[in-house]
Amino acid sequence: MINVTQSSMPPMEEYFDEIRDIWDSHWLTNMGVKHKTLQKELCRYLGVEKIDLLTNGHMALELSLQALHLPRGGEVLTTPFTFASTTHAIVRNGLEPVFVDVNPVDFTMDVSKIEPLITEKTCAIMPVHVYGNICDIEAIEAIAKKHNLKVIYDAAHTFGVRYKGQGIGTFGDVSCFSFHATKVFNSIEGGAACFRDDEFGLELYRLKNFGIRGPEVVDGVGANAKMNEFCAAMGLCNLRHVDEEIAKRKKVVERYNERLSGVKGLQLNPVQKDVTPNYAYYPVIFDETDFGASRDDVFAALGAQDIVARKYFYPLTNTFDCFHGKYDAGKTPVALTISHRVLTLPLYADLPLSDVDRICDIILNCKG
Ligand SMILES: *Cc1c(COP(=O)(O)O)cnc(C)c1O
């Protein structure tokens, strides 16, 4: 069986060495040594000035939105071509998601469609760097500045990505990463928010720790989203190997490209200008008319051989059952079409190239 992904893990002994001193300190959570060290190491690796660590990427998004003190009922421009987390973070803050379509080239927010959707209630933009592809950062920044909007990037897919040499976490008011087991870099579960403003950082810190300001002062209504020491230790170990993991992913991606580029009816993930990629995902868009088989046909053919590909992202978040009747996916037609045609293929550092070949053989065999 080949799964769509396989979590990166350090050598077992390395992790044991990393957690050994926790048995001396008995300090298991609440911003201990591992947490502080990982924070520092991540600032260096990601090229960001300030970062806070959280239990997961979702809490980074949800609490970052809360820490910005946006007006209740305010509208947040986002896209439906994302994981449930992005949209839920907005809704759970009492904010209203307004869905902007994506562009058909790199699947990020179509910046030409942002301004017509801005109203007097719009307070923020929450774009997603999908599959490791970065959004049109300059255009989004210009629009945000002109209309006085906050920008919160969902950077869950872009760990380690750089734009013009600059860490992707440095853009927007906040950029949120996920360190979930399935991501390019993991701390088992985990997440982080990168930001510049100290006031924001203090507010986020309090929100992840029950609103506690000091030993006898609780002046906020916070949640609990602290990263524990065992997760931070896993992060420290995985960080030592992440460059090597990305290099191995690159080899897998190059093999897929060799086999699948130029095939009629297949659209592959683009190479973006000025971007240092992280090879997070391998999405393929199947045009049934030109290719002769649909996404679902290919999904089934791979499944029959015990190969798990993923319809990622399908369904769109604006078609979720929990939002039944609330949004019209017809207003984001590009995202809707792509969600019906996209399949992300198995991709992880240790995926053998012979398996990549087998996967490609099965796909090309579906061709009409
Ligand atoms: C994984 C992911 C999240 C949520 O991160 P968790 O760490 O799983 O909570 C949010 N947005 C996107 C786009 C993701 O892929």
Of all protein residues, the one whose alpha carbon is nearest to atom 7 of ligand 1 is 57
pLDDT band at residue 213 under the 50/70/90 scheme = very high
Ligand 1 pocket mutation pick from 54, 79, 129, 178 by most atoms within 8 angstroms of CB: 178
Percent of the chain with pLDDT over 90: 100
pLDDT band at residue 135 under the 50/70/90 scheme = very high
Q: Is the peptide bond before 107 cis (omega within 30 degrees of 0)?
A: no
User: What's the CATH code of the domain at 305?
Assistant: 3.90.1150.10
pLDDT the model gives residue 24 = 97
Buried b / exposed e along 152-177 (16+ C-beta atoms within 10 A)? bbbbbbbbbbbbeeebbbbbbbbbbb
Tens digit of pLDDT for each residue in 37-74? 999 999 999 999 999 999 999 999 999 999 999 999 99
Among 203, 219, 237, identify where a domain stops: 237
User: What's the CATH code of the domain at 41?
Assistant: 3.40.640.10
Tens digit of pLDDT for each residue in 321-353? 999 999 999 999 999 999 999 999 999 999 999
The span from the CA of 322 to the CA of 345, in Å, is 28
Q: Give the mean model confidence (pLDDT) for residues 213-223.
A: 95
Among 181, 208, 237, identify where a domain stops: 237
Ligand 1 pocket mutation pick from 58, 82, 107, 129 by most atoms within 8 angstroms of CB: 58
- Reported residue count of the chain is 368
In a domain, 349, yes or no: yes
pLDDT band at residue 368 under the 50/70/90 scheme = confident
State whether 275 and 322 are in the same domain: yes
In a domain, 3, yes or no: no
State whether 221 and 351 are in the same domain: no
Cβ 216 vs Cβ 18: under 8 Å: no
In a domain, 4, yes or no: no
pLDDT band at residue 204 under the 50/70/90 scheme = very high
Pure H helices in the chain:
12-20, 22-25, 33-46, 57-67, 84-91, 137-147, 198-207, 229-260, 288-291, 295-304, 333-341, 353-366
pLDDT the model gives residue 15 = 98
Q: How many Cα atoms occupy the beta-carbon half-sphere of 12 within 13 Å? A: 0
Tens digit of pLDDT for each residue in 166-190? 999 999 999 999 999 999 999 999 9
Residue 297 burial class via C-beta count within 10 angstroms: exposed 0-12, middle 13-18, buried 19 and up: middle
Q: Give the mean model confidence (pLDDT) for residues 222-227.
A: 98
pLDDT the model gives residue 220 = 93
State whether 45 and 62 are in the same domain: yes
Whole-number Å distance, alpha carbon 178 to ligand 1 midpoint, is 5
Whole-number Å distance, alpha carbon 189 to ligand 1 midpoint, is 10
State whether 225 and 125 are in the same domain: yes
Comparing C-alpha atoms, which of 118, 107, 166, 163 is closest to residue 142? 118
Q: In what side-by-side order are the strands of the sheet with 266-268?
A: 266-268, 283-286, 342-344
100 sits in the region (left: phi over 0; alpha: psi -120 to 50; else beta) called: beta
> Which domain covers residue 291, as residue numbers?
242-366
State whether 22 and 163 are in the same domain: yes
Whole-number Å distance, alpha carbon 71 to ligand 1 midpoint, is 24
Is the per-residue pLDDT at 249 higher than 90?
yes
State whether 255 and 113 are in the same domain: no
Q: Which residues pair with 166 in a beta bridge?
A: 163
Residue identified by tokens 């290719």 is 291
Ligand 1 pocket mutation pick from 109, 152, 180 by most atoms within 8 angstroms of CB: 180
The span from the CA of 77 to the CA of 98, in Å, is 5
pLDDT the model gives residue 285 = 98
Tell me the average pLDDT of the chain.
Answer: 98
Residue 334: how many other CB atoms lie within 10 Å: 17
Residue type (1 letter), 135 = C
Among 237, 271, 299, identify where a domain stops: 237
Whole-number Å distance, alpha carbon 64 to ligand 1 midpoint, is 14
Is the per-residue pLDDT at 155 higher than 90?
yes
State whether 263 and 198 are in the same domain: no
The span from the CA of 136 to the CA of 131, in Å, is 14
Whole-number Å distance, alpha carbon 216 to ligand 1 midpoint, is 34
Q: 3-state class of 112 per DSSP? A: helix
The span from the CA of 149 to the CA of 143, in Å, is 8
Q: Give the mean model confidence (pLDDT) for residues 188-196.
A: 98
Residues with CB under 6 A from ligand 1: 56-58, 82-83, 85-86, 128, 154, 156-157, 178, 180, 191
Q: Give the mean model confidence (pLDDT) for residues 200-205.
A: 98
State whether 36 and 163 are in the same domain: yes
pLDDT the model gives residue 45 = 98
The span from the CA of 89 to the CA of 64, in Å, is 9
Of all protein residues, the one whose alpha carbon is nearest to atom 6 of ligand 1 is 57
Whole-number Å distance, alpha carbon 184 to ligand 1 midpoint, is 12
